[in-house]
C-alpha cells in the first residue's frame, strides 16, 4: 500500500518526547470564550490551551494560526470538564475546580483566580470531577464525578451548599432541565437520576440498562452522555442512544449506532451526537432516523 511517508526529521530526545506526548494526548473538554473569539481546550496532561478562533477560521489562516496562543499547566491531573461564565473559565479534573479570568488568560504565567475542592468522603484517592454544570438562575455550579455525589457550589461565595447522593457509581454527565430547575445526572451505575434543586432530593430514576430495547450488555451499563430538552431526554453510553419521554419515563426512539456515544446535544429539533472514537458527528431527527453525518 502506497502511503506518503513524512521525511524523518533528525529528532533529539526532546522532540521525540513531545511527539510521543502529542500522540497520546486526549482532549477531554473545551469551552468557548464569552466573546466567542477564543476556544479553551483541556487535555489529559492537565494542560489548557487557548486557541484563537477568529484567526484559525479566518481566510488568511496559516499553520501557526491553528496552534494555541498560550498553553499552561492548569491541573496536576487531566482536565475533564470546562465551562465558561461570562467572565470566568472554570476547569475541573483531578478533584478541584479552578477558575480563570478570561481577560487574563491570554497573558503568560496566568494564575487561577480561585480553586475549590468539594468536601470528599474518601481520602485515599481524590475523586475526579467529570462534569460541571452552570445553573444561571441560582448563580451556582454543580460538580459531579468520582465520589458519586453532586455538589453544588455558590459561585459568589464559593461555599458548597448541597451534596446530592444517590448514585452507586461515579457520575459521568450532567444536564439541566430549565423549566423546573432539575438536574439530570448519568453515571457508571447505569442510571439517570433527576434531582430537584430546591428540595435537594432525587425525583426520578431511570435505569436505562434494564430496558431491553436499548440495553447492550456487552458494552456495559454506563451512561456516558445526557442531553435534555425539558420534556425529552437523550442518553447513551453502554446502552444504545435512546430518546426518552421524561414524564412517562419511557424510551421512545432508539438510535441505531454501534459505538458507545460520548457526547450528545439537542439542537433545535435535531439531536447531534458524537462517538469519540470515530470521526463523525451524527445528526438525527427526533423520529429516529439519521439525517446525515458531519465528518472530520
Q: Rule CB under 8 A: is residue 123 a binding residue for another protein?
A: no
Identify residues 178-197 at the interface with another protein (CB under 8 A).
188
Length of the chain: 296
Identify residues 217-236 at the interface with another protein (CB under 8 A).
217-218, 220, 222, 224
Site string for another protein, 45-84 (x = CB under 8 A): --------------------------------xx-xx---
CA dist 95 and 119 (Å) reads: 10
Q: How far is the CB of 147 from another protein (least distance, A)?
A: 10
CA dist 190 and 156 (Å) reads: 33
For 47, the grid coordinates are 494542560
Q: Rule CB under 8 A: is residue 95 a binding residue for another protein?
A: no
Of the candidate spans 34-42, 67-75, 122-130, 242-250, the one that interacts with another protein by CB under 8 A turns out to be: 122-130
Q: Rule CB under 8 A: is residue 161 a binding residue for another protein?
A: no
Q: Rule CB under 8 A: is residue 130 a binding residue for another protein?
A: yes
Count residues binding another protein (CB under 8 A): 42
Q: Rule CB under 8 A: is residue 239 a binding residue for another protein?
A: no
Q: How far is the CB of 155 from another protein (least distance, A)?
A: 23
Q: Rule CB under 8 A: is residue 121 a binding residue for another protein?
A: no
CB nearer to another protein: pick between 22 and 198: 22
Q: Rule CB under 8 A: is residue 166 a binding residue for another protein?
A: no
Q: Which of 36, 124, 258, 269 binds another protein (CB under 8 A)?
A: 124
CB nearer to another protein: pick between 200 and 272: 272
Q: Rule CB under 8 A: is residue 295 a binding residue for another protein?
A: no
3-state secondary structure the chain: CCCCCCCCCCCCHHHHHHHHHHHCCCEEEEEECCCCCEEEEEECCCEEEEEEHHHHHCCCCCCHHHCCCEEEECCCCCCCEEEECCCEEEEECCCCEEEEECCCCCCCCCCCCEEECCCCCCCCCCCCEEEEEEECCCCEEEEEECCCEEEEEECCCCCEEEEEECCCCCEEEEEEECCCCEEEEEECCCEEEEEECCCCEEEEEEEHHHCCCCCCCCCCCCEEEEEECCCEEEEEECCCCEEEECCCCEEEEECCCCCCCCEEEEECCEEEEECCCCCEEEEEECCCCEEEEEEC
Q: Rule CB under 8 A: is residue 2 a binding residue for another protein?
A: no
Q: Rule CB under 8 A: is residue 10 a binding residue for another protein?
A: yes
For 207, the grid coordinates are 435505569
CB nearer to another protein: pick between 22 and 179: 22
| Interface contacts to another protein, rule CB under 8 A | 1, 3, 5-13, 15-17, 19-24, 26, 28, 77-78, 80-81, 124-125, 128, 130, 146, 170, 172-173, 188, 217-218, 220, 222, 224, 262, 277
Amino acid at each position: 500500500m502506497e502511503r506518503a511517508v513524512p521525511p524523518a526529521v533528525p529528532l533529539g530526545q526532546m522532540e521525540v518526547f513531545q511527539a510521543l506526548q502529542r500522540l497520546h494526548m486526549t482532549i477531554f473538554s473545551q469551552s468557548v470564550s464569552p466573546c466567542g473569539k477564543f476556544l479553551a481546550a483541556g487535555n489529559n496532561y492537565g494542560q489548557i490551551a487557548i486557541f484563537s478562533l477568529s484567526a484559525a477560521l479566518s481566510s488568511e489562516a496559516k499553520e501557526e494560526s491553528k496552534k494555541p496562543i498560550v498553553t499552561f499547566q492548569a491541573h496536576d491531573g487531566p482536565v475533564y470538564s470546562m465551562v465558561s461564565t461570562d467572565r470566568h473559565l472554570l476547569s475541573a479534573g483531578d478533584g478541584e475546580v479552578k477558575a480563570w479570568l478570561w481577560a487574563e488568560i491570554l497573558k503568560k504565567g496566568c494564575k487561577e483566580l480561585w480553586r475549590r475542592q468539594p468536601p470528599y468522603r474518601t481520602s485515599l484517592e481524590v475523586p475526579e470531577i467529570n462534569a460541571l454544570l452552570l445553573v444561571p438562575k441560582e448563580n451556582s455550579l454543580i460538580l459531579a464525578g468520582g465520589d458519586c455525589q453532586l455538589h453544588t457550589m455558590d459561585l459568589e461565595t464559593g461555599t458548597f451548599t448541597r451534596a446530592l447522593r444517590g448514585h452507586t457509581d461515579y457520575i459521568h454527565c450532567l444536564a439541566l432541565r430549565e423549566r423546573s430547575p432539575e438536574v439530570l445526572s448519568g453515571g457508571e451505575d447505569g442510571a439517570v437520576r433527576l434531582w430537584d434543586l430546591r428540595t435537594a432530593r432525587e425525583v426520578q430514576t431511570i435505569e436505562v440498562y434494564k430496558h431491553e430495547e436499548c440495553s447492550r450488555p456487552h458494552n456495559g451499563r454506563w451512561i456516558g452522555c445526557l442531553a435534555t430538552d425539558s420534556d425529552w431526554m437523550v442518553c447513551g453510553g453502554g446502552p444504545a442512544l435512546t430518546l426518552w419521554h421524561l414524564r412517562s419515563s419511557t424510551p421512545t426512539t432508539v438510535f441505531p449506532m454501534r459505538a458507545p456515544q460520548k457526547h450528545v446535544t439537542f439542537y433545535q429539533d435535531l439531536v447531534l451526537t458524537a462517538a469519540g472514537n470515530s470521526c463523525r458527528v451524527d445528526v438525527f431527527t427526533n423520529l429516529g432516523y439519521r439525517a446525515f453525518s458531519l465528518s472530520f
